[in-house]
Structures are given as C-alpha cells and as structure tokens.
C-alpha cells in the first residue's frame, strides 16, 4: 500500500522523529558506554518515540477512520510484528564490542527501517478505503 492510498497518514515530522528515536534506541546498544547508560538511553528513546506517535493529534483522525469502518481501535499483532527486527538487533548488539562508527551505522539502518514500518506501527497502513468495503458487500 502506497502513501497515496492511505486514508490517514502520519505527518512527516512525526514519522521522522519517531524513526530517528527508534533508530537511536537500537544504536545506543552498540555504543561504547556502560550498560546502565545503554538501558537508560534505550528506554528513554523508545518511550519518547512512541509518545511522539501516539500522543499526536492525527491519532484522532486514525481512530475516527477505524471506527467509521465499524472496526475495533486496538493494537494488533500486525502492528507489533514489524518491530521484531529492531528487537532482535537490541538483543544481539550488546554482544558486539561497542564502537561509535558501528553505532552510527546501526542508527542509520534502524532509523530507515523504522521509517519504512511506521505506517504498520501506527496502524494507518491497515485502514482500507471505504470503496473497498463497498465492493466486498
């Protein structure tokens, strides 16, 4: 599904900020800093990234679009599953010796991936146009 067919899309600054923060959360685990600081950085970045997305006013439009289609406004497995590669990176990176260069590379890759999966994460990729609903009926 392309952005042109989305009913409601996340504003670009929201999507960018969330992607940067989720990418940084993964990159923190590759940094040569003490583990306690890694955990603090990880938690702060993930919390801030999710807060940026889920506290933004565009979420009201998402909720209205979902409820207009008589669907439940809940988190589904299809929204959480795309986060698995980021979680896997969080688990594997502490094994690798910390490096600022590696952290920068991981940040770019993880942020790009988070940008790509953001519509699945916030649920906007799963909102079907009403025209699709009418054809099925």
DSSP structure string for the chain: --GGG-SS---HHHHHHHHHHHHHHHHHTTSSS-HHHHHHHHHHHHHHHHHHHHTSTHHHHHHHHHHHTT------HHHHGGGHHHHHHHHHGGGSPP-HHHHHHHHHHHHHHHHHHHHHHHSGGG---HHHHHHH-
pLDDT score at 70: 78
Q: What is the pTM of this model?
A: 0.82
pLDDT tens column, 20-67: 999 999 999 999 999 999 999 999 999 999 999 989 998 888 888 888
pLDDT tens column, 61-104: 888 888 888 777 777 888 889 999 999 999 999 898 889 999 99
């Amino acid at each position: 599904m392309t952005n042109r067919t989305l009913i409601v899309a996340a504003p670009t600054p929201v999507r960018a900020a969330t992607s940067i923060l989720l990418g940084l959360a993964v990159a923190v685990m590759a940094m040569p800093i003490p583990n306690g600081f890694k955990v603090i950085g990880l938690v702060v970045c993930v919390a801030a990234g999710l807060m940026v997305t889920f506290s933004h006013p565009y979420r009201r439009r998402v909720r209205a679009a979902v409820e207009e289609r008589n669907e439940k406004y809940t988190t589904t497995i299809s929204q959480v599953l795309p986060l698995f590669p980021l979680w896997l990176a969080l688990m594997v990176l502490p094994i690798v010796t910390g490096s600022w260069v590696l952290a920068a590379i991981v940040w770019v890759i993880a942020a790009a991936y988070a940008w790509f999966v953001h519509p699945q994460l916030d649920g906007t990729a799963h909102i079907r146009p009403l025209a699709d609903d009418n054809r099925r009926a």
